[in-house]
Amino acid sequence: MANDSSAVLDAISPDSIADPFTPPADSSLWQKNFLLGAATASYQIEGAVREDGRLPSIWDTFSATPGKVLAGDTGEVACDHYHRWESDVDLLAGLGLEAYRLSTAWPRVMDEAGVPNRKGLDFYKRLLTRLKEKGITTMVTLYHWDLPQHLEDRGGWLNRDTAYRFAEYADLMSRELTGLVDAWATLNEPWCSAYLGYGNGHHAPGRANGRYATQAMHHLLLAHGLAVPILRANDPDSQKGIVANVGRGTANSDSAADQRAAHLFEVQHNAWILDPLLKGAYPQDLFELWPHTEPLVLEGDMETIAAPLDFLGINYYFRTNVESDGAHGFTEAPPEGVERTQMGWEVHPDGLRDLLIGFHGTYANLPPIYITENGMASDDKVTDGKVDDSQRISFLKRHLAAVDQAIKAGVKIRGYFLWSLMDNFEWAFGYERRFGIVHVDYGTQKRTIKRSAELVTKFLKERKARG
């Protein structure tokens, strides 16, 4: 299908699409002030890893290490977005999506000494300018895991100095891009950066030590806290926030031990991040679960981390059912006979609703929320020029219904970003797992709009027509 925005809209006829997606008439999603958009991340789509002064990142190093990424895939080309950004923006606009969440690549915009790389900065300026010309609301994530390798060589997020280097990066980007960004997110999913990157080694940089994970998390959150006042000073008209991935933990039985196990799962997955941000302290239960892993915290750190937020981004994908490990922790107890995605993750929309309502009750200062990622992977194939991703359509409808239920329960939710705009490099799973609402043929770079995207477009056209 053509990438010209008007051609995309014209080609998607609401009358020709059987619709199992559109929300009911009383859904909050019909409100015009509820943003519906899509999200991507720099390393997952851009490619061009050695062009125009871009430096190596930890994901370049990690994915080039044999055995770290499925099939030996890397982000060297990815979706070639660095060269195809104009047609990709046209595609996004053509789908009628109202908002776009993207990330900037730290290694693309400054050198080892912190000197700005004009070619990298100009790429993001052109991209964001085109998005604003199309009337698309922009959310920019400063850190979506692609740490410059030279900083990792000096300790990465285990080195407190990295937090200060991040503040310099935030200063550069917010000065250069002021007026082009509607909302800044400092970090994406610090849980993944800290735990998967430094705790169990499944993600870059591939370190595996529990003590490393908690110290890396502290420095990530410190980096966030240092950046927020800089963003406020340089770009006062934009919103400032952070994006956390959250997980619903459920107990395998009503026993006190299993209930405690579910609680501890949510402590390490949710409260580890949200308590410092919103309460100014780490949950002590975390160190019951992971004894002797307390990070080094200097005076004033927790106040810095708890800088007021304009919004909180929430990424949700699945729940985890757990049982007591017989000691002081938990072990997974996957239920049988449940719906799962290509990732093996359970489809459990009630978990999103329950978490949102729970956060609303737990944190008195909970800021407005954007669902910054929600979606699923499936083994999508193009057949006769079409992609019928029926499971994704059902998934999205049920999760949007869960969001609506949370709104009706009093949670302030301002928008929802589909993960992802297009199939892309799925980290340690390479290119096998497809999360996009647009199919990408990685050999030809041809984009094919999936049926899920057509139905989202149909809904947005109907909402716009209502006025």
**Residue 9's pLDDT is what?**
47
**113, 151, 177, 272, 350 from 165: Cα distances, Å:** 10, 9, 18, 23, 40
Inter-residue contact 35 to 414 (CB < 8 Å): yes
**Residue 467's pLDDT is what?**
76
CA angle 139, 141, 144 (to 5 degrees): 145
**Residue 20's pLDDT is what?**
82
Structural domains of the chain, count:
1
**Residue 328's pLDDT is what?**
86
Question: How far apart, in whole angstroms, are the C-alpha atoms of residue 407 and residue 397?
Answer: 15
Inter-residue contact 345 to 391 (CB < 8 Å): no
Question: How far apart, in whole angstroms, are the C-alpha atoms of residue 23 and residue 36?
Answer: 13
User: Which residue range(s) make up the domain with 368?
Assistant: 5-466
CA contacts within 13 A on the Cβ side of 160: 5
Question: How far apart, in whole angstroms, are the C-alpha atoms of residue 32 and residue 327?
Answer: 50
**Residue 13's pLDDT is what?**
45
**At 404, which CATH number?**
3.20.20.80
Is 346 catalytic? The answer is: no
**Residue 211's pLDDT is what?**
97
Inter-residue contact 412 to 368 (CB < 8 Å): yes
What is the pLDDT tens value at each position of the chain, 467 positions in all? 334 445 554 544 444 456 788 899 999 999 999 999 999 999 999 999 999 999 999 999 999 999 999 999 999 999 999 999 999 999 999 999 999 999 999 999 999 999 999 999 999 999 999 999 999 999 999 999 999 999 999 999 999 999 999 999 999 999 999 999 999 999 999 999 999 999 999 999 999 999 999 999 999 999 999 999 999 999 999 999 999 999 999 999 999 999 999 999 999 999 999 999 999 999 999 999 999 999 999 999 999 999 999 999 999 999 999 999 999 899 999 999 999 999 999 999 999 999 999 999 999 999 999 999 999 999 999 999 999 999 999 999 999 999 999 999 999 999 999 999 999 999 999 999 999 999 999 999 999 999 999 999 999 999 999 97
Q: What letters, b where the CB count within 10 A reaches 16 and e where it falls short, cover 212-226?
A: bbbbbbbbbbbbbbb
Helix %, strand %, coil % of the chain (to 5):
45, 15, 40
DSSP 8-class letter at 153: T
pTM for the model: 0.96
DSSP string, 101-148: EEE--HHHHB-TT--B-HHHHHHHHHHHHHHHHTT-EEEEEEESS--B
Catalytic residue among 152, 266, 373, 454: 373
